[in-house]
Amino acid sequence: MNAEISSVTASEFLLFHTRENNSVDYYVLDPERYIEEMVEMLMLEHAKNPKWAKLGRRRTDSLIIDFSKDFPPYRLYGNKAITSIINNQKIKIFKASIAHLKKERQKMLSRKIEFLFDYEIKCHGIDESVCNIGMDLFEKFQSNISPKNNIKNTINDILILATSANMKQSLVTQDKVLGRFASEVYNGKIEDYKTEIMIDFPSDESKIERKNKESKGYVNRGWSYSFKKGKL
């Protein structure tokens, strides 16, 4: 398949959050911090305990975007961890992360991540470059388009777009509002299909840089972001 996805896309595909109330369903462990011997011990002693799993936010990495008084803060847990799990196919780490869930849900999530493994899909994590692009894009977006009722969904979309723009990779999306916004901002070529659209970013980097420099509103607004590492 040779496809590439953002860690945000991965978090949505792997259902990190419950769709009913948007609460975190599980937190993924970082395979760079938990070696396989440690994972085997966790599976025997802690991983199946819902109370232990609920404190997973302390053990995984997190991205926090503070929008001051404009919007509620945005949090993405396991950005770095899920990127490493997918790219290095660390199935044991993932299974330890979901061991506290009901058996049927574990099986469903295991099938989902095995699909990513089988097709060797590459994952790109959110870093400072993507955040800078994303916050600039969100400033432009919310100035002209009303965000979704759940603001987290709009920011997810923007970070996925920012990842594609940063990697100079085509963006495929079913969200036509986002797609047309991306095409306008980047002067990208847009192809409209029945259920989704694809945007090709221009190969001329100067076009992208000039567009990105048009607005840095988040600096004046006091918006900021931070990355935090989890604790063992």
Identify the three-state secondary structure at position 131: helix
Three-state SS letters, 138-206: HHHHHHHCCCCCCHHHHHHHHHHHHHHHHHCCCEEECCHHHHHHHHHHHCCEEEECCCCEEEECCCCHH
**Which tokens belong to 5?**
């996805």
- Is pLDDT larger for residue 102 or for residue 41? 102
211 pLDDT higher than 60: no
Task: Identify the sign of the CA torsion 187, 193, 195, 196.
Answer: negative
Output the CA–CA distances (angstroms, integers) from residue 196 to 61, 80, 172, 199, in the order listed: 32, 28, 7, 10
* pLDDT tens digits, one per residue of 92-138: 999 999 999 999 999 999 999 999 999 999 999 999 999 999 999 99
Q: Which residues pair with 126 in a beta bridge?
A: none
213 pLDDT higher than 60: no
> What pLDDT is stored for residue 104 in this prediction?
97
Q: What's the whole-model pTM score? A: 0.89
* pLDDT tens digits, one per residue of 140-182: 999 989 998 889 999 999 999 999 999 988 888 888 899 889 8
Average pLDDT estimate for 65-83: 95
* Confidence band, pLDDT 50/70/90 cuts, at residue 205: low
> What pLDDT is stored for residue 210 in this prediction?
40
